[in-house]
Each structure stands twice: as C-alpha cells, then as structure tokens.
Structure 1
Amino acid sequence: MMKIENPVLRGFNADPSMIRVGDTYYIANSTFEWFPGVRLHESKDMVHWNLLPSPLSTTTLLDMKGNPASGGIWAPDLSYADGKFWLVYTDVKITEGAFKDMTNYLTTATDIHGPWTDPIKLNGVGFDASLFHDENGKKYLVQQTWDHREYHHPFNGITLTEFDVKTMKLQPKTARTIYNGTQVKLVEGPHLYQINGYYYLFAAQGGTVFTHQEVVARSRTLDTLSFETEPGDPFITNMDTPDFYLQKQGHGALVNTPGGEWYYASLVARPWNHKNESAYDPRGWSTLGRETSIQKVEWDDEGWPRVVGGHGGQVEVEAPKDAILTKAPDNGDQHDDFDQSELALEWNTLRVPFENHMGRIGQGQLTLIGRDSLASDFDVSMVARRWQAFNFNAETKVTFKPYTYQQMAGLTNFYNDNHWSWIFVTWDEKKGRVIEVAENNRGHYTSYLKDDAIQIPDDVEAVWFRTQVRKQSYGYQYSFDGQTWQDVPVSLDAAILSDDYVLQTYGGFFTGAFVGLAAVDYSGYEQEADFDYFDYKELPD
C-alpha cells in the first residue's frame, strides 16, 4: 500500500485548504506577499502532488504593491459547489499594531485552471475566511473576527455571516458569533462541515508557532455560541511532542475519500537546532517555513474525529485505499534555461507580477531591470523559488556591467525585506567591477568583503554564482569560467531566514526561505542584468 510521507508539500506551503472533486484532491495554500497569489496542487492519491497555475495571477485579482512582509494572501479557502470552484482569499494590508486592515474577496471558476472571475469584495471583519455551502442551499462566510480594542483580546471568536448568491453579497445583519474557542485563545482558521446531522467546526488556536493546535466543536444548529468543544486533548497539536519530527501542526482542512475514509491536511514545520542549542528551548528554526502534512482521521463512538496514531500525528500515513496513482516529480529539482516566454510555475515575485517593468524572459535569457533595493516593499526586481530541502545547491550565470555602487545583481537567499543575503556584482571606485557578499539581518546591513571585494578581470564578461545551503549554515561561491569554483570565506547562519528567528523581533513570520535572482539599481538608471540559466539541485539530508 502507498504511504503518505509527511510533509507532502515541502517548503513554504502553509494553511492548506484541501477539497475533493470526484477522484481528484486539491490543496490551496497561503502565499502572503509573494506573487502570484494562492498556491494550488492536485493529486489523485494524496501521496504525489503536482503544482498548478496560481489563480490570482493578475493585478485585477490581487494588487499587493506596498504590502508589508507577511501581509497579502492569508489562508485562502477553496471549495466546490454548484458546478464550480469557489475561492475566498484575504489581502492583508497591515500586520503590526492594533489593527489588521484587510479585505476578503471571492472569485470563482468552472475549471481549476481558470479563468477566474473578477474579485467580489466581501468584507474586512477578520481574516481566515471560508465559504460554507449548507445542504439546505444557504451559504455562509465563516471567519476569524478581529478586535482592535486594547482592553479586549484581538481574536474575538468565529463569526458566521449569510451570503446571498443572487446578489453575490454578504448580509451583515445576519452576522453572529458561533464559537469563542477555548482558554488557549487565538482562535482562527475556521472551516465548517456537515456530517451525520451535526455541523462540525474545525478551528486553529494557540498561534501558528510551537503552541499551535486544532480544535473541533460541533452543534446541531448554527445559532449564536451553540458549538460544544471536543472533549479531551486537542484534535491535533505538537505542543506536547517536542521530540517529534513534525511540529506546529494545526490549521487545516478535512476531506473524505470516495470510499468513505477521512483525512486532514494541516500546516506543519520541521525545525532544526544548532549543535550548541537545546532541542527544547529554542525548539528550533524552521527555515523551510510552514509546510503541509496529511493525517488520517477516524471517528470515535461519540462521533468525534480523532487523528490516527494520536494527536501528534504521524510521519508515514496510509494512503486512501481507493487512491489512483499520480505521476509527479520525485523532488524539487529545477533547471531553467529561460527558453519560455513566461516564468515557470516554481518562480515567484514580490507583491507584483513579472511584467515589462521588471524585465524580460525568453530565448535563453532572463533579463532583470535594476530597481529598488531588496529592503523595499515596492519595486523589487527579483524572481525566486522556495527552499524545499534542508540541503541544496543553486547556481546561475550573470552578465552585469554596473558603473556605480548603487547598482547590484546576483544570487540571493531571501526571507523578507529585513532578512536576506546575496552574492552580487557591483562597482567599486578603486577596483571597478567586483563581487561582494552582504547580509541584511533585522534590517542591519553588513558588507562582508568590503575592501577585499573580489575584482572581476576586465576580460571576463559573465560571472557564475553558486549558493550551498547545508541546513544550519550556508555560503556562496563564484567562478569566472563556470568550471573552477572559489569559495567566498563567509559562512552565514541559516536560522536568520526562519519564521522563528523573525518572530523574535517582528510580528510577520509566516513564509519561508527563498533562493533567487535579483537586480538592484537604486540610482534610478535601470541598469539591466542578464541571467543565462538557473539550477536548483537538492541533496540528501
């Protein structure tokens, strides 16, 4: 029998919303400030997953220019009813402070590949909104509710609001709080299901960190505060399993198979520790971000769902008995010669789509137009892909002719605008074209080579760059011929590119590390950089 190996979606694939349509399963994941919005995968066996085009691929559907790090798309909800897919998504504009300014939208499509309809604005009551299709024909928006008042808890329960399909609008006067969560607090991520005469509410609590958990409540009605919490332990959590390989499980979605089995898709993380650290405090650094796991679910005699193997979950899970073998890539390896006219599905940009203002692609070359620094929330000229393994090499070849130190282009490892590093070509007044390695750590910028920046010979047209990521640390190499590689004598701490590190000083900590290509020209003269290829190859743990 096939086995689900957790995590099934490796690297930053948080907040899974899983559904089944016929014999096919779909998962939608959060993308936050990365464009295009919402990551989609499909499978017929829950073991092997294929990446699909993202639904929010135009600025009509998603405009995030200026969004803060870890703003943007929070916890999308994918559902299927009335012969079409329904996608509810949130664009969060403020992440820090008393307020969470956001807008919830709805778009639909008859085909998962699109086209998706222009967005319908729903509300801004709270994030993690999902659409519930009642068997009686009614539809409801279920969501976390935000309270800015400093004398209240900001997570003010789960709100239910009727949605009128004729007008495609919510009915605000029908809004009611159906569940307040438990004393764990931070109740969010709600999904409603109708099973055996009950409404079952699955909701996350405890914050999306090592105290994360999922609870289940149920009710015969959708009346105000009518839901009763599942007795005993939380439905799923790793709060009390610090030695387990999988951590942070909680927020997710329930699905049943054609044969009547049940599974639950949850966010998950795989932290690691430095050799001199306790594995309990800090519990670890999750450089791959929050990934997706799938656990099998059974129902007890009282009609409550229970995770098979206990609430900590399992790494290996039995696949559905009626699974249909799905052909999918064995790993996350990627080689791109930039022969296509559009970016491959693995690539992402920050906040805005890859269009002419950012560069060009095709005929064996990616050209990036130098724009803002990597610390900007606006015009960043970068294409990047997720880290999906703890150990990998990534390399590229770049041609760049700067004439000021304000112009830079190269290979970057990036978490957000305050946490990144890169190796790049730039200009030095004394040496001309040089190679430098720099890091931005909590907004503090450090040039590591300075006066020892590596001079590029006049007869060298292009430079090759490589990064070698080895779980706890990583570094950079360069070559002038693509054959002989030289190490840059700088070893960087990978923990700086983790949710857990960023959380210590900043409230937005929801994504994961990326590796990519970037061009900066904050002089405003738009100097261009040409990249001939990109290669990402995973190595054994």
Structure 2
Amino acid sequence: MSAIINPILPGFNPDPSICRAGPDYYIATSTFEWYPGVQIHHSTDLVNWRLVGRPLDRASQLDMRGNPDSCGIWAPCLSHADGLFWLVYTDVKRLDGNFKDSHNYIVTAPDIAGPWSDPVYVNSSGFDPSLFHDDDGRKWFVNMVWNHRSNSIGGSPKHPAFAGILVQEYDAQAGKLIGEPENIFQGSPHGLVEGAHLFKRKAWYYLTVAEGGTGYDHAVTMARSRTLTGPYELHPDIFLMTSKDTPDAPLQRAGHGQMVETPGGAVYHTHLCSRPLPGTRRSPLGRETGLQKCVWGEDGWLRQAQGGLVPALKVDAPDPASRKRSSEPVRRTFDGTELPPEFQWLRTPLPERIFSLTGSALRLIARESIGSWFEQSLVARRQEHLHFRAETTLSFAPQNFQQAAGLVHYYNRHKFHFLAVTWHEDLGRVLTILSCPGDWPDGRLQFPLDPPVLLPVDGAVELAMEIDGADLQFFYRIPGSDWTQVGPVLDASVISDEGGRGEHASFTGAFAGMAAFDTSGDAISADFTQFTYIPEDA
C-alpha cells in the first residue's frame, strides 16, 4: 500500500484547511507577515503536493506594513461551493497585550488560479474564521471570539480570552452577516478553543476545533450536535488527535486541522505539527502540515485509523499506485520575469520598491533595516529540512557602513543570522556577520565575526551556509577560489518557533534567503544572480 509521508507540507505551513473539488484536493495554510498572503497547495492523490498560488497578492486585498512579527494572515479557510472557491482569512494587526485587532474577510474565485476578487469585510470579533456551506444552501460564518477582559498579557494568552466559537449566517448576495451571532461551543476543559470547522454527516453537525494553544499541549478536539447552533456534545475521547502526553512522538504540537472525504468516501484530517530538534523543544521548520487517515466508528464518531490520539508519520493513501516524489536541490538563476514560486517577501504590497528582476539577477533595492515591520528588502524561501545548504552569488558595491547585503537565516526581527557584505571606513569592502539570537524585546545585535573579513574592492562574492540541526556555519569564496569557513558555528536552533520568547509567541518558521538594507536612505541596489537550496536529508 502506498503511504502518505508526514509532514506532507514540510517547513512553515500551519493551520491547514483542506477542501476537495472533484478529483482535486487543495490545502490553504497561514502565511502571517509573509507576502503574498495564504499558500495553496494542490494534490490529486493526497501524497504529492505542489504549490499553486498565493491569492492575496495586491494592496486592495492585503497590506501588512506595520504588522508586528507573527501577525498578518492567520488560519485561512478554503472551501468550494456554488462553482466558486471561497477563501476566508484574518489580518491580525496586534499580537501583544490584551487586544488582537483581527479583521476577517472573504475573497472568491472561479478557479484556484484566480482571478481572486477584492475582499469583502465580514467582522473583527475574533480570529480563525471559516465558512460552512450547509446542504440547504445557507452559509454560516464561524470564528472564535476574543475577550480582552482577561489576564492575556505578553503573548501567553490564558483560557478566558478564548471565549468560544461564534456562528452567524452569511448572506453571500448581500456580502454581509445577517441575524445575530450565537456562541455555540465553549470548548473542552483543555481550553484555548480556536480554529473551528464544521462538517455535516448523517444529520449530525460535527465541529472540530484547535485547543491547548499552538505549543506542545496542542490538540484537535471534536464535538457534534443535531442542530448547527448546538448544544454540542464532546467526543468520548475529547480529542481526535494530540501529542501532548507523548513527548517522544516524532510529530509534536499536533492540532488545528480540517476533515475531507475522498470520492470513495474515505476520510482524512489535516493537522499542523512540528518536528523539534532531538533533545530540544525547538522547531526551526515551524508548524508544518500533516494528514491522518480516519474512520467512522459504529458510535458515529471519527477516530484515527491507526488508533490512539498520536498522529502517525505514515498513513495509507487512497491510491495504492501513488508514490512520494523525493526532494532534490533547487537552483534558481533569476533569468525570468517572475520571482520563483517558493520565494516570498515581508508585509508590503509594493514589491517593486524592494526588488526587481533584471533578466539576469534578482535586484534588491536596499531600504529599511533588517527586521523592519514596514519596508524590508528580504526575499527568502522556507527551510524545509533540518539539514541543508544554501548558496548565493552577490554583486554589491557598498559605500558606507550603513549599507549591507548578503545571505540570511531568518525568522523575525529578533531571530536571525546574516552574513553580509558591507563597507568599513578603515578596511574598505568587508564581510561581516550580524546576528540576533533571540534577543527579545530589544532585538540587539551581536557581531560574531570580529574583525571582519577583507574582500576585493569590487566583483562578485559567493556566500553559503550549512545548517546541521542546531548548528549553522557560514562560508564564502571569491569566484574561482575554494570555499572558506567564516565566523564561528552559530546557534541555528534559536531560528525557531520556540527561540527567544518561547513556544506561544512566534508562529512562522525559518527562512533562507537574500537581504539588503541601506539605513542611509540612498536605496543602493544589490544583485543576486543565483540562489541554490540543497537538502541533505531529503
């Protein structure tokens, strides 16, 4: 029997919402502050998945300039009904303190490739929205409700802030909610109820929610009711899946997903998960997407096919002929007119201000400092393996110490390692390392390469980094010479969800990419002629 190998979407791909349209499956995942918003992957066999789009790609749909780290697009919901794809999403504008400022929208498209509509604003009462299409033609908008009147301070929300699951009818013709919202589910005693999805089967309304926060107590909780508005009874096991009581399980932090039926009636359920480095509670790959096969019991409740609550690394696929494709090195030479699909940037809907494609290079237009929440010139791809090498070739002529460009291992403004070409007033063009190993809230830099390495006054420089679990080693060479290690071994584990502030405070994942800044305001350019990602544990 062919197998689904978890995680099916490696690297930062959390909060997976799955839907089927005919023979095709689609998963939408959160992108937080990375632009364009929402990742959508496609599969025909549930085994192999391909990125097919990021629909929120223009200012009328999404502008995240000023959004703090780990805000932006939370927990989208993708569905297919009435000949349209429906995408529901939240743009969160605040993380810390008692407020979230979470605004919910709907966009639609006749095809997964678009064109996607301008957004319809729905509400702001809480995050993690979903849209349920009932079999009587009515549509229902679902989201958790956030209660700021609690001790939810400092990025560690307590149970009272998660005040239940709201349902309200949505009038698609009018583009607005109608009737009154009803709080239909307060969650289990586990607490922190969010991420709700409804599913109807044999006159039962099934509700799956995420509970326990997105750390190591995360879970998928299940309930059901004969009526959409409840009351809902809890699953006899409470949870459909969780790893919270199994610290040695390879897939940790399992929770927040959605069920889907195959054309043959088999049931699968997505979930987020993480793979912490051995012996640690640090997950550089962030929250990834897994998929579990489930079965309906005689009591009408859904359970994992392999039994128990802990998600499996391998589960049976619907088609016994399906085979998982292996990972291979990816080399990009930036000779096209569009950015290669695996790359994203941060926050701004105006990419032309931070990069362009010249036909032979990716040209970064250096602007604000690395870690800026407004206009940062950083283009990167997800780290998808615990062991990999990344290489790039840079042409850059800095004129002062406020200008730098190079190769970066990046999580957010207080978690990154940056190998950069810059200018030293006494030495000329040099190579330095700017490192911020989890210093929150100040984001103070360390400079582990002292003194800096002298470079030729002009010409290209090749930069590389190797990640081996928790270790990062930078390299450089002048074209035609040998690679040389540069700087000490750095802590790559801090470039993780749990690094710095801890497991409940950061929600994205590690990226490898190219960055440039010019805090003098001259907007100097840096040309990157290639970027290569080589997985070593494929």
Q: Quote the RMSD (CA, aligned, Å).
A: 1.5
Q: In 2 relative to 1, CA 445–332 (structure 1 residues): closer, same or farther, beyond 3 Å?
A: farther
Q: For residues 137-156 of structure 1, give each alpha carbon's deviation from its aligned partner in whole angstroms, at most 9, with x where no partner exists.
A: 11111111100012781000
2-structure distance, mates of 1:226, 1:305: 19
Residue in structure 1 matched with residue 220 of structure 2 by the alignment: 214
Q: For residues 111-141 of structure 1, give each alpha carbon's deviation from its aligned partner in whole angstroms, at most 9, with x where no partner exists.
A: 0000001100000011000000011111111
2:454 counterpart of 1:455: yes
Give TM-score, length-normalised by structure 2.
0.95
Residue in structure 1 matched with residue 199 of structure 2 by the alignment: 193
Residue in structure 2 matched with residue 245 of structure 1 by the alignment: 250
Q: In 2 relative to 1, CA 194–84 (structure 1 residues): closer, same or farther, beyond 3 Å?
A: same
2:205 counterpart of 1:205: no
Residue in structure 2 matched with residue 511 of structure 1 by the alignment: 508
Residue in structure 2 matched with residue 381 of structure 1 by the alignment: 377
AA aligned opposite 1:63: D
Residue in structure 1 matched with residue 155 of structure 2 by the alignment: none
Residue in structure 2 matched with residue 300 of structure 1 by the alignment: 297
2-structure distance, mates of 1:69, 1:507: 13
AA aligned opposite 1:146: W
Residue in structure 2 matched with residue 161 of structure 1 by the alignment: 168
Q: In 2 relative to 1, CA 325–507 (structure 1 residues): closer, same or farther, beyond 3 Å?
A: closer
Residue in structure 2 matched with residue 346 of structure 1 by the alignment: 342
SS of aligned partner of 1:211: coil
2:260 to 240, 255, 264: 255
1:408 to 400, 404, 414: 404
* Displacement after TM superposition at 1:233 (Å): 4.8
Does the Cα contact within 8 Å between 2:16 and 2:28 map onto a contact in 1?
yes
Where do 5+ consecutive residues of structure 2 fail to align? 152-158
2-structure distance, mates of 1:362, 1:370: 15
Residue in structure 2 matched with residue 285 of structure 1 by the alignment: 282
2:121 counterpart of 1:114: no
SS of aligned partner of 1:153: helix
AA aligned opposite 2:456: P
Q: In 2 relative to 1, CA 507–6 (structure 1 residues): closer, same or farther, beyond 3 Å?
A: closer
Residue in structure 1 matched with residue 524 of structure 2 by the alignment: 527
* Displacement after TM superposition at 1:324 (Å): 7.5
SS of aligned partner of 1:515: strand
1-structure distance, mates of 2:470, 2:358: 36
Give the alignment of 1:265-344 within 5 angstroms.
265-273=270-278, 279=279, 284-309=281-306, 310-321=308-319, 325=322, 330-331=326-327, 333-344=329-340
SS of aligned partner of 1:252: coil
Residue in structure 2 matched with residue 536 of structure 1 by the alignment: 533
4+ runs deviating over 6 angstroms = none
1-structure distance, mates of 2:495, 2:2: 34
Q: For residues 369-398 of structure 1, give each alpha carbon's deviation from its aligned partner in whole angstroms, at most 9, with x where no partner exists.
A: 111111210110110000000111111111
2-structure distance, mates of 1:493, 1:507: 20
SS of aligned partner of 1:356: helix
1-structure distance, mates of 2:351, 2:509: 24
SS of aligned partner of 2:494: helix
Q: In 2 relative to 1, CA 345–375 (structure 1 residues): closer, same or farther, beyond 3 Å?
A: same
Does the Cα contact within 8 Å between 1:104 and 1:127 map onto a contact in 2?
yes
2:44 counterpart of 1:44: yes
1:369 to 353, 365, 371: 365
2-structure distance, mates of 1:230, 1:53: 36
Where do 5+ consecutive residues of structure 1 fail to align? 274-278
Q: For residues 139-180 of structure 1, give each alpha carbon's deviation from its aligned partner in whole angstroms, at most 9, with x where no partner exists.
A: 111111100012781000000011012211012x42000000
Q: State the aligned residue count.
A: 526
Give TM-score, length-normalised by structure 1.
0.95
1-structure distance, mates of 2:138, 2:321: 33
1:490 to 481, 488, 491: 488
Give the alignment of 1:392-471 within 5 angstroms.
392-441=388-437, 442=439, 443-450=443-450, 452-458=451-457, 460-471=458-469
2-structure distance, mates of 1:142, 1:540: 40
1-structure distance, mates of 2:367, 2:329: 29
2-structure distance, mates of 1:502, 1:80: 39
